[in-house]
Amino acid sequence: MVIGPDTVREPRRDEFDEIHDLLVAAFDTPAEAKLVRQLRNDGAMAIELVKPWEGNIGAYVALSRMQAPEGWLCLAPIAVRPEWQGGALTLSLGQKQQFRFGSRLLSQLALSHKRGLFAKPFGEDVSIVVLGKPSFYQRAGFSLDRARNLTSPYPLEYTLILRHGEEAPEATLVYPSAFEALG
């Protein structure tokens, strides 16, 4: 029996406006909403996932194709409805429990990567990089330490990687051109 909004799926095209509204509400500026729109327009979007609950999209995550290294993906953005951030959605199923949309979505994405579900569409050694708060992403298996040898236009103290194996790869990260507008 599923307890809570555990379904993760790709969004339907008719949900893009709701995703846009979610991104605008979840962040201080509309930059992330503009980023997602530009990634779609540029054909750089690899996959988008949503976690719906009671007729609303509770959380959203985008993975785009890096320009380099070839076959790598970038996670950005991840968003949760503001009223449900920090476990504010309390499920009442016998006993009350908090539901953390962002953490669940990120953990499911990391588990899918570990199980090799990204290998078929993106290649056997697909790596996913993210720029963000290390304590949040490390809980799902992203590694700050394994990203130490990367060269990035963004601060390495906030750059994490999710990849198979144990090594810390040496690579220069080139993000999709849509990221330049965030600068």
pTM of this prediction?
0.85
Rg (CA), the chain: 16
pLDDT at 15: 96
pLDDT at 8: 82
Which CATH homologous superfamily contains domain 13-178? Answer: Gcn5-related N-acetyltransferase (GNAT) (3.40.630.30)
Whole-angstrom Cα distance, residue 157 to residue 126?
22
User: Domain limits of the chain?
Assistant: 13-178
| Nearest residue to 49 via CA among 3, 118, 116, 139 | 118
Whole-angstrom Cα distance, residue 112 to residue 145?
22
Q: pLDDT tens digits for 86-134?
A: 665 555 555 545 666 677 778 888 887 787 777 666 666 789 999 999 9
pLDDT tops 80 at residue 16? yes
Q: pLDDT tens digits for 64-73?
A: 999 999 999 9
